[in-house]
Amino acid sequence: MKNKQIKKAITGGFAVGEAIRQINPDVMAVYPITPQTPIVEYFAQEVADGNAYTEIIPVESEHSAMSACIGSAAAGARSMTASSSQGIMYMMEMLPIASAMRLPIVMAVSTRAISGPLNIHGDHSDAMAMRDFGWIQLFAESVQEAYDNLIIGTKLAEKALLPVAPNMDGFITSHSVENVEIMTDQAVKEFVGEYQPTQTLFDFNEPKTFGAIALPESYFNFRKQVYDAMQEAESKFLEIVSDFEKISGRKYDLVESYQLDDAEKVIVAMGSTCGTIKATVDKLRGRGQKVGLLKIRLFRPWPVEAVYQALKDVEQVFVLDKNLSFGTSQVLAGNVEIALKRPINSVVYGLGGREISEEEVEKIFTGEVRSFLI
C-alpha cells in the first residue's frame, strides 16, 4: 500500500539529511566538506532540535570519520557519515577495511572533482576512485532519487553486509531545490526496520577480535568473501526496490531504460546529466530520430547482464564518463564494453563541474563529439 507522502521543495543535501533523520541512525560521524556539508548541516540541526537521537561524533578528519564508523558499526551501531572529494581521498585507507569487515556503513556522497588543480565542483572522480573497494554504489539523477537511494541503501547495506555509498551530483543535485515526495517517518522506519547486527564487539559471552591480521593462508579467502557478497548484492537490491515500490509508488531497477525499445543510438550515463539527456532524447524523438538513454542506478556491483540486455540490439552506444582515467580507457565505458563485448564510443564530459547542454548531447548522438566534450 502506498503511504501518504508530503511534497516539499528542498535541495538534495537537505533531502538526504531528512532521510537520515527519518532513519535516525545510532551514530553519525561528521566532518564538513563541500558539497557534502548541507547534509550534515541539516541533520545536525535536526539532532540539536531533538528530532533525532543520533550520537553525532564531530571528528577531526575524514579518516577519523570512517574510522569512527568502523568502530561503531563493529560495536553494533547503525553508523553513517557523508563526504566528498578530498574527504573521500583522505579516508581512502579505511574504505576497503569497512567492506572487508562486512560493516553496513552508509556514506552519503555528494560527488565532486578531486584535486589538482583544486576544484570544488561536481564530477564523478571521487566516486570512481573508490569503485573497487567493496562499496556498493548507487547514483541518483534527481533530489528524489538521492532521498530514495539513501533509504534503499541503508536497507541494502544491512542485507548485503557491505558498506553503501549513495551518490548524488555535487551542487547540481546537492544544492538545487527540486520537488520531492517525502515519506512519513513511520513508513521509513518500518521500511529500514530495527538494526540487528550479526556480530558485535559487545558480545561479552562470545568475545571476538575485529579487524585482525589475515596471513597468506586466509587473506585471499576473505577478499573473495567480499567479492561473493558483492555479486549477491544485485539480487538483494532488486528485492529491496520492489518492497520500496510498494510503500512509495516509485519503481526502480538496476538500470533505467529511457526510449530504448527501438533505439538505434543510445547514451549510457549516470547522475544528474541523465535529465539533460532525457530532454534531448525527447527533442530528437520529436524529429523522428531513434535515440535513447540507459541510466545506471546501481554502479557497484556492476549490473553486467542488465546492461547487456538493454543494449544488445543497439547499433551505436555512447558512454559518458564524468571522470578521467589517465593512460587507459574510461571507467563506465570499460564496464559497458565488458557487458557488450564490442567496442563503444567513449566520451568524457563535465570534469570539474563543466556544464553540458542539450545541444552538446545532440552532438554526442551525431558523433560530432569524439572522446572529449571539452
Window 6 to 35, contacts with other proteins (CB under 8 A): none
Q: Which of 50, 194, 198, 204 binds other proteins (CB under 8 A)?
A: 198
> Please, what is the angle between helix 12-23 and helix 37-48, to 10°?
40
Q: Which of 49, 194, 206, 359 binds other proteins (CB under 8 A)?
A: 206
Window 103 to 122, contacts with other proteins (CB under 8 A): 103
Q: How far is the CB of 217 from other proteins (least distance, A)?
A: 4
Q: How far apart are CA 56 and CA 40, in angstroms?
A: 10
Point out which span in 80-88, 98-106, 253-261, 262-270 binds other proteins (CB under 8 A): 98-106
Q: How far is the CB of 84 from other proteins (least distance, A)?
A: 27
The reply to whether 312 sits near other proteins by the rule CB under 8 A is no
Residue 99's identity, in one-letter code, is: S
Q: How far is the CB of 9 from other proteins (least distance, A)?
A: 42
Which residue, 186 or 218, is less far from other proteins as judged by CB? 218
Window 135 to 194, contacts with other proteins (CB under 8 A): 161
Q: Are 372 and 348 in contact (CB under 8 A)?
A: yes
The reply to whether 227 sits near other proteins by the rule CB under 8 A is no
What is the dihedral sign for C-alpha 361, 362, 368, 374?
Answer: negative
Point out which span in 142-150, 173-181, 205-213, 334-342 binds other proteins (CB under 8 A): 205-213
Q: How far is the CB of 29 from other proteins (least distance, A)?
A: 19
Residue 266's identity, in one-letter code, is: V
The reply to whether 359 sits near other proteins by the rule CB under 8 A is no
Which cell is 286 given? 520529436
Q: Are 263 and 292 in contact (CB under 8 A)?
A: yes
Q: How far apart are CA 27 and CA 17, in angstroms?
A: 14
Which residue, 145 or 158, is less far from other proteins as judged by CB? 158
DSSP secondary structure string for all residues of 51-104? S---EEEE-SSHHHHHHHHHHHHHHT--EEEEE-HHHHHHTGGGHHHHHHTT--
Residues in Cβ contact with 172 at an 8 Å cutoff, skipping those fewer than 6 apart:
122, 271, 272
Point out which span in 2-10, 28-36, 219-227, 316-324 binds other proteins (CB under 8 A): 219-227
Quick one: which H or E segment has residue 144? helix 143-160
Which cell is 226 given? 567480499
The reply to whether 100 sits near other proteins by the rule CB under 8 A is yes
User: How far is CA 141 from its chain centroid?
Assistant: 10
Which residue, 103 or 332, is less far from other proteins as judged by CB? 103
User: How far is CA 360 from its chain centroid?
Assistant: 25
Q: Which of 186, 218, 235, 242 binds other proteins (CB under 8 A)?
A: 218
- Kindly determine how many residues on this chain lie close enough to bind other proteins according to the rule CB under 8 A: 22
Residues interacting with other proteins, by CB under 8 A?
Answer: 100-103, 161, 198-199, 206-212, 214-215, 217-218, 221-222, 224-225
